[in-house]
Amino acid sequence: MEITFEKAFDIFNYPFFKLLRIAHDVHVQNFDEQSVQISDILSVKTGGCSEDCAYCAQSAKTGAKMLKQPMLNPEVVLEAARRAKERGASRFCMSTSGPCLSSDDEFEKICGIVRSVKALGLETCVTLGFLTETQAVKLKESGLDYYNHNVDTSPEFYHNIISTRTIHDRIRTVEIVQKVGINVCSGGIVGMGETNEDRIKMLVLLANLIIPPRCVPINKLVKIPGTRVDDSKPIDDFDFVRIIALARILMPKSYVKIAAGRNTLSESIQALCIFAGANAFFSSEKLLTVDNIKDNADSQLFRKLNLKIEDPQL
């Protein structure tokens, strides 16, 4: 049954503790409430992107002036994956800048890296921009588990953030990836000047896909000087919790991930998010170009909340 904006809006505006109670009940019906999934992420090709995403320091059209870094040597990537596994991550995510990979050689190199990381016993995830179906098939054959391709925001607000692509371009790639049988990781960013209505519409869009994303990352904007949204008003912490709860209710079988910006959330707010259904996190100290949580912060928080890290082999 299609989820309407009106219904999602009503749920979002439930009394706060009623909303959290409903979201928590949905969560425990679909997941182990004491388990969390941990990922690590590495930028394997950085900067020089021709897109104009308002939030991103990697855009060549931004004032952030990030240095361009060519694709890393595969052994460098593998060593980072090994360290991630030692820290408890069960999934290793790899990102490349740009609207898509610039050559067949780069794509083949990524496929080889995916096979090698998979051989370490880790789930694999990549974000490479826009894909053809032929490329998606090759990634599937290489053993790729997840493909990340965020919609970023609502269809109505999208033009304020990106002009070089449309949100329909993004949805098309998501559908291609799902067609070949790869799990999709797709969410967005909050705090870029959008309204709560935009945030709700973004989740409704994702929930109404033929197959909702298996993982829904919610990024709290990390302001980078020189980007077009570096002066936007931050999202209220309790509105952030409400978005997490709504994502859990609308997509009950999806992992709901708190991604970028978690280092700006207190332990108490993170705990409310976890109660509301957040059950996936990035553990690395760096999320592509921005800082994440401090070393050992997760282990301390999880210990206080009696949480354990999910073992994907079970």
Q: Cα–Cα distance between 292 and 295 in angstroms, integer?
A: 9
pLDDT value of residue 65: 65
Instruction: Compute the C-alpha angle 64/285/54, nearest 5°.
Output: 25
Tell me the pLDDT of the chain (314 aa) as tens digits: 799 999 999 999 999 999 999 999 999 999 999 999 999 999 998 866 778 788 887 776 666 566 678 889 999 999 999 999 988 899 999 998 877 787 889 999 999 999 999 999 999 999 999 999 999 999 999 999 999 999 999 999 999 999 988 999 999 999 999 999 999 999 999 999 999 999 999 999 999 999 999 999 999 998 888 888 888 999 999 999 999 999 999 999 999 999 988 889 999 999 999 999 999 998 866 555 555 566 678 888 999 999 998 875 54
Q: What does the pLDDT read at residue 147?
A: 97
Which homologous superfamily is 5-304 in?
A: Aldolase class I (3.20.20.70)
217 pairs with which residues across the strands?
257
Rounded to two decimals, the pTM is 0.93
Residue 116 phi/psi, 5-degree rounding, is -70, -40
Ranges of each domain in the chain = 5-304
**90-to-130, 146, 198, 216 alpha-carbon distances in Å:** 25, 12, 32, 17
C-alpha dist (Å) from residue 177 to 86, 168, 180, 202, 282: 29, 14, 6, 19, 22
